[in-house]
A and B are shown apart, each in its own frame.
Chain A
């Protein structure tokens, strides 16, 4: 099925925004100005964007510690995200959460998560809300190959099947959980796990936006039409360390270079768009320039933004005491 021009432009812009956002953070982190832990999503952009291109604002997603890409793909404000990462009052979470806790429920973004495997159970709950409230929404859990071994994840696969929930489980498999390879840590296969819990399984190359988009469309259609949960296994590569500061001695020296050269979702998008005459490359270049400006202003604004104040410390522990 043809993807609309508007969707293609929007998706390319989202992927470019994630790439530029993350590469800028990589540089800014090295200056020591960014506090806390930062996990970059570079190289994995097509997964978040290809999936979210099939979602509406009403649909819900849950993300991970590597959450910036999912946030951007689901429409969270980029300036607010940057300010959050800098710990400023103007951040989407008012400086209280930081990189690992960016959330915007008004956008159906149930949060990045500092707890591996924290998202899948929450997505069962969100899917239950969509089902009970009959709003036609679906709920999507993004989680890593590492997170696929958490009890919470495996229990959620079961629960989603038992309750026949409109849920999609997106395994973002970049081959590593921290410094440990998934070939060591994951017994069996994701495919057999899906089968074990009685749900359909799909897989795709996560460096190819079009492949992710089409697989996600089928998975999401399945869930939305009331047929129960689905697993979508996305094969990915991460381009930076597990967190900023990781020297990656556990990876072969050429692994990342190869990924950048041969599996760059932005490059493959441009190629395909040109070959199939889907979009003019000049339109994509314009997007690149606009995104560069947007990120520059986001960083400038974040650095200028006010810090939270003393009164903010006690605010929002409860709705009401």
Chain B
């Protein structure tokens, strides 16, 4: 066990899986960097934010492949390779670039197994950065996990810390279905204790980062940290919260969500993706259908407005959910007139 950043945790997961399994290959734009450069320095970047640094040096050019800027072809190649014997981890850099290759994910990889009558396995992982808060503007800031969650056949992982990232990525690589693995770009320097050895965290098992009596806060990815911060403040004001991190949006741990809502009777959902048809809507529907009787107050969603992500700092701050907004939402559900629950 040692302190590791989110970036190091991901690098270590990739490295350990590549050592364990020679069929794991990595591809993406500048995942090594420096090919064809005049200095002859290979492994110049290790991805735009240095996450895959050093892997080319250890595993060589057959297993760490820099790609041309051609997402449709290399994401599709990763899907094809997955269906024919490799376990590719393809990096899409910013998840926004999925616009250039969605067909290969949505119509190809996701559907092979079902369309082929159960005869295909597609152990593909697509890693990408998501999220606002970087002044990266409308085409580099989206949180598109609902888009993938919507597509049957895909599994979708949104880790909330370095520890979670390592265990979930190893699970993703070992999983036989196509997995979309989304890393919040603001979190790469977050640090916590992470085991040195390989370990897995199963999909579809929510993590309760704290347990309380009054309100359940379901939060996704980077929002988990904000929810815990809000819960700390609320605890000092006598309001006790459960904070639930679903870890994966598909499969979704419906049972734990429902149990928590049964216990607390109040639900706040924090989701940084665009508000229409997002995870907050999805989880609200689940609870409204299956735990309506337990609700003492209407569900509240802390989500951004239905706009592209703005560039300017004050607008981006207004856009983003944060601990203040979560705190306010929790107080609002506490103030709401309690419904008599049988």
Q: Which of B29, B97, B318 meets A180, CB within 8 Å?
A: B29
> Which of these binds chain B: A42-50, A67-75, A181-189?
A181-189
> Which of these binds chain B: A16-24, A283-291, A310-318?
A310-318
A29 within 8 A of B: no
B134 within 8 A of A: yes
Q: Which residues of A contact B311 (CB under 8 A)?
A: 35-36, 87, 93, 95-98, 101
> Is the beta-carbon distance between A88 and B68 smaller than 8 angstroms?
no
B204 within 8 A of A: no
Q: Which residues of B contact A152 (CB under 8 A)?
A: 100
The residue in chain A whose Cβ has the minimal distance to the Cβ of B139 is: A114
In the assembled complex, the Cα of A247 lies from the Cα of B36 at a distance in Å of 17
Q: Which residues of A contact B71 (CB under 8 A)?
A: 150
B115 within 8 A of A: no
CB distance from B138 to the nearest CB of A (A): 7
The residue in chain A whose Cβ has the minimal distance to the Cβ of B318 is: A313
B237 within 8 A of A: no
CB distance from B94 to the nearest CB of A (A): 9
CB distance from B108 to the nearest CB of A (A): 14
Residues 283-321 of A, flagged 1 when their CB comes within 8 A of B and 0 if not, give: 000000000000000000000000111101110010000
A178 within 8 A of B: yes
In the assembled complex, the Cα of A301 lies from the Cα of B79 at a distance in Å of 51
The residue in chain A whose Cβ has the minimal distance to the Cβ of B306 is: A317
> Is the beta-carbon distance between B44 and A98 smaller than 8 angstroms?
no
Residues 224-249 of A, flagged 1 when their CB comes within 8 A of B and 0 if not, give: 00000000000000000000000001
Q: Which residues of B contact A253 (CB under 8 A)?
A: 39
In the assembled complex, the Cα of A319 lies from the Cα of B66 at a distance in Å of 42
In the assembled complex, the Cα of A185 lies from the Cα of B68 at a distance in Å of 5
- Name B89-104 residues within 8 Å CB distance of A: 96-97, 99-100
| Chain B interface bracket (under 10, 10 to 19, 20 to 34, 35 or more) | 35 or more
- Of the listed residues A249, A250, A308, the one surrounded by the most CB atoms of chain B closer than 10 A to its CB is A250
> Is the beta-carbon distance between A252 and B34 smaller than 8 angstroms?
no
A108 within 8 A of B: no
Q: Which of A98, A147, A185, A312 meets B35, CB within 8 Å?
A: A185
- Name B2-52 residues within 8 Å CB distance of A: 29-30, 33-41, 44-45, 48
> Is the beta-carbon distance between B139 and A117 smaller than 8 angstroms?
no
- Name B288-319 residues within 8 Å CB distance of A: 305-308, 310-315, 318-319
Q: Which residues of B contact A250 (CB under 8 A)?
A: 33-34, 37-39, 41, 44-45
A146 within 8 A of B: yes
Q: Which residues of B contact A149 (CB under 8 A)?
A: 68-70
Q: Which residues of B contact A57 (CB under 8 A)?
A: none
Q: Which residues of A contact B144 (CB under 8 A)?
A: none
> Is the beta-carbon distance between B135 and A98 smaller than 8 angstroms?
yes
> Is the beta-carbon distance between A100 and B69 smaller than 8 angstroms?
no
> Is the beta-carbon distance between B310 and A95 smaller than 8 angstroms?
yes
> Is the beta-carbon distance between A115 and B134 smaller than 8 angstroms?
no
Number of interface residues of A (CB under 8 A): 48
In the assembled complex, the Cα of A312 lies from the Cα of B137 at a distance in Å of 15
> Is the beta-carbon distance between A177 and B69 smaller than 8 angstroms?
yes
B86 within 8 A of A: no
- Name A114-133 residues within 8 Å CB distance of B: 114-117
> Is the beta-carbon distance between A100 and B139 smaller than 8 angstroms?
yes
> Is the beta-carbon distance between B135 and A251 smaller than 8 angstroms?
no
A151 within 8 A of B: yes
Q: Which residues of B contact A255 (CB under 8 A)?
A: 38-39
A201 within 8 A of B: no
The residue in chain B whose Cβ has the minimal distance to the Cβ of A145 is: B69
| Given known A87-B312, A95-B312, A101-B311, contact A181–B96 (CB-CB < 8 A) | no
> Is the beta-carbon distance between A314 and B307 smaller than 8 angstroms?
yes
- Of the listed residues A101, A115, A310, A313, the one surrounded by the most CB atoms of chain B closer than 10 A to its CB is A313
B72 within 8 A of A: yes
> Is the beta-carbon distance between B140 and A114 smaller than 8 angstroms?
yes
Q: Which residues of A contact B318 (CB under 8 A)?
A: 310, 313
| Given known A36-B311, A185-B36, contact A178–B30 (CB-CB < 8 A) | yes
> Is the beta-carbon distance between B136 and A37 smaller than 8 angstroms?
yes
A142 within 8 A of B: no
Q: Which of B45, B134, B139 meets A179, CB within 8 Å?
A: B45
Q: Which of B69, B305, B314 meets A314, CB within 8 Å?
A: B305
> Is the beta-carbon distance between A313 and B319 smaller than 8 angstroms?
yes
Q: Which of A35, A116, A178, A252 meets B39, CB within 8 Å?
A: A252
A210 within 8 A of B: no
In the assembled complex, the Cα of A171 lies from the Cα of B30 at a distance in Å of 21
The residue in chain B whose Cβ has the minimal distance to the Cβ of A97 is: B311
A176 within 8 A of B: yes
A-B contact pairs, 27 of them (CB 8 A): A36-B311, A87-B135, A87-B311, A87-B312, A87-B314, A88-B312, A96-B310, A97-B137, A98-B135, A100-B139, A101-B139, A113-B139, A146-B69, A178-B29, A178-B30, A179-B30, A179-B45, A180-B33, A180-B34, A181-B36, A185-B67, A186-B68, A250-B39, A250-B44, A250-B45, A308-B314, A317-B307
Supply 18 further A-B pairs (C-beta < 8 A) apart from A96-B308, A179-B30, A181-B38. A87-B312, A93-B311, A95-B310, A96-B311, A114-B96, A115-B139, A146-B69, A151-B72, A151-B73, A179-B34, A180-B35, A185-B68, A185-B69, A249-B39, A250-B41, A252-B39, A307-B313, A313-B319
- Top 8 A-B residue pairs of the complex, sorted by shortest distance between their CB atoms: A181-B36, A184-B36, A250-B37, A114-B139, A87-B312, A179-B33, A35-B135, A98-B311
